[in-house]
Amino acid sequence: MNPAEYFEKKRYVYLSNVVPRQTCEDLTRYMFNLFESGKLSKDPQCPLSDSIYGDPVLDNLLQALAGPLSAQLGVQLLPTYTYARIYRPGEVLVRHIDREACEISGTMTLGFHDGSGIWPIYFTDREDDVVGNSVEINIGDLVMYHGNELWHWRPKYKGQWQVQVFFHYVDANGPHANWAHDKRNSLGTQRDAIPRDAPATKTAFVEPLPQTVQTPPAAPKAPTADEEFGTLHSKIISDGVIIRTSDDIFPGATTYHSGFNPEYMFTPQDCARILQLQERIYPVKSTVGDGDKSKYDPKVRSVDTYNIEYSEDTAWIFKKIAAAVGKANAEYYRYDLYGITHALQLLHYKATENGHYDWHIDCGNGNSATRKISVSIPLTPRNAYRGGELWINNNGNEIKAVDEQGSVSMFPSYLLHQVTPVTEGERWVIVIWINGPRFR
């Protein structure tokens, strides 16, 4: 499905590398220069941040992008106006849809403070939705969306600053074509009265973008899992001491805990260090199903997911897990493995939301088809919550996994397992899947 087809069907689309990174850096400095010279202002929608309407430099870029975007989206776009912000700590972009002049809009990240991470934006086409689809927009990338059809918002900002620019257009053949230039005489000028976006009250869920359209390139200086961990894990997983066991044993679950290989556990200090990561990562509601059939269903699965990407700050977590899996695989599973090929998941089960996950397996279509070993690491002490037990159907026998803080439980990804409802407190856990070639 090409971008135009996807945009028509889903009403938004992720476009990569629309503006060069150097241009984004220049525009970020330009925004801070405007701030220093007192040319930015506050607005009621985001009162903590600093913004500007219809800046001549940004409106020129709006005009320059109109032709290429029209060709890519299959819609003749007429530019209306730009709006740019320096978002500040604690800001919230309330849930809303846009006015007529924002019929077809784009939002682009120009820059953000090192260590802050990218602040996600959420979209939904249903007013009664409860989750929303989260999209992180890399620098120079652009999400185009139908602004007065899709509800969109951002949660409370956890970073130091993020510079964002909105490019607003109307369809030349649509009902709002008279809003070209936002009814100004020309681009790069001001309006006496700018109608504000309509407020909104509810949340929602939209199916995630397909891999070929949505996935942005890796952040600068942060190697992807495939780049860094293909080699790294091949080395670590082959470094285990091979102790051959009987070939007729069908492998099930195994756990490294204080009574068995405790050196592979995560210490309480390790667990606390991992939990600190959620302070700068934005969660999403976990879904069930594959690809376009993925959906949010709290009756089946109720848990918040924080994706932990591989970086200099998180490499120690990946390496520690790889060492534990390497030993278990050498001594017990003896699977052909690629290693860790994607982000870790930090899961948050809450009693207030009936946090649980019904019986399921971790294998399915797409990327999950090659999962070989599932890994689960409780980060919270057992006395911090009630319920929240991991049960595994271990070759026909239902067993409760070890729930000691920092223990490392591993089992074949095709085994049925569940997490029972958390009835008191909160349960935090790291999960990851180790991929490999097809079983044969």
- 284-303 pLDDT per residue, tens: 899 887 766 778 899 999 99
Distance, in Å, from the CA atom of 66 to the CA atom of 55, rounded to the nearest integer, reads 16
Distance, in Å, from the CA atom of 171 to the CA atom of 176, rounded to the nearest integer, reads 7
Q: So what's the pLDDT on residue 133?
A: 84
Q: What is the dihedral of CA 343, 390, 414, 329, to 10 degrees?
A: 70
Q: Which helix (H) or strand (E) holds 212?
A: helix 211-214
- 305-325 pLDDT per residue, tens: 999 999 899 999 999 999 999
Q: So what's the pLDDT on residue 130?
A: 64
Indicate the average pLDDT of the chain. Answer: 85
Place of tokens 């007429």: 78
Mean pLDDT across 87-108: 94
Q: For residue 133, what are its two tokens?
A: 């689809």
Q: Comparing 260 with 238, which gets the higher pLDDT?
A: 260
Q: So what's the pLDDT on residue 248?
A: 55
Mean pLDDT across 22-47: 95
Q: Which of 368, 362, 365 is nearest to 410 (CA)?
A: 362
Confidence of residue 50 (pLDDT cuts 50, 70, 90): very high
Highest mean pLDDT of the ranges 126-130, 166-170, 293-297: 166-170
- 173-200 pLDDT per residue, tens: 999 999 999 999 889 888 765 444 433 3
The 10 Å Cβ neighbour count of residue 178 is: 10
Mean pLDDT across 138-167: 94
Mean pLDDT across 362-372: 87
| CA 82 remoteness from chain centre | 26
The architecture in CATH of the region 3-214 reads Sandwich (2.60)
Q: Which of 348, 347, 346, 355 is nearest to 424 (CA)?
A: 355
- 194-221 pLDDT per residue, tens: 444 433 333 333 333 333 333 333 333 4
Q: So what's the pLDDT on residue 292?
A: 66
Distance, in Å, from the CA atom of 285 to the CA atom of 8, rounded to the nearest integer, reads 25
Q: So what's the pLDDT on residue 156?
A: 92
Domains 3-214 and 225-435 share a fold: yes
Cβ(28)–Cβ(111) below 8 Å: yes
Length of the chain, in residues:
440
Three-state secondary-structure class, residue 366? helix
Cβ(77)–Cβ(66) below 8 Å: yes
210: Cβ–Cβ under 8 A, 6 or more apart, which residues?
1, 6, 291, 292
User: What's 260's DSSP letter?
Assistant: B
Q: So what's the pLDDT on residue 196?
A: 41
The 10 Å Cβ neighbour count of residue 277 is: 16
Give burial (CB, 10 Å; 0-12/13-18/19+) of 261: middle
Question: Within 13-55, where are the H helices?
Answer: 21-36
Q: So what's the pLDDT on residue 212?
A: 32
Q: So what's the pLDDT on residue 147?
A: 94
Mean pLDDT across 416-428: 97
Of all residues in the chain, what percent carry a pLDDT higher than 90? 67
Which residues on adjacent β-strands are paired with residue 109?
139, 164
Distance, in Å, from the CA atom of 373 to the CA atom of 338, rounded to the nearest integer, reads 11
Backbone angles phi and psi of 280, in degrees to 5: -125, 15
Three-state secondary-structure class, residue 113? coil
Sign for the CA dihedral angle at 12, 14, 18, 22 comes to: positive
Q: In what order do the strands lie in the sheet with 198-199?
A: 133-135, 121-124, 151-154, 93-97, 198-199
What residue segments make up the domains of the chain, in order of their start? 3-214, 225-435
Cβ(16)–Cβ(141) below 8 Å: yes
Distance, in Å, from the CA atom of 430 to the CA atom of 375, rounded to the nearest integer, reads 8
pLDDT of 142 strictly over 80:
yes
CATH for 225-435 is 2.60.120.620
Q: So what's the pLDDT on residue 226?
A: 38
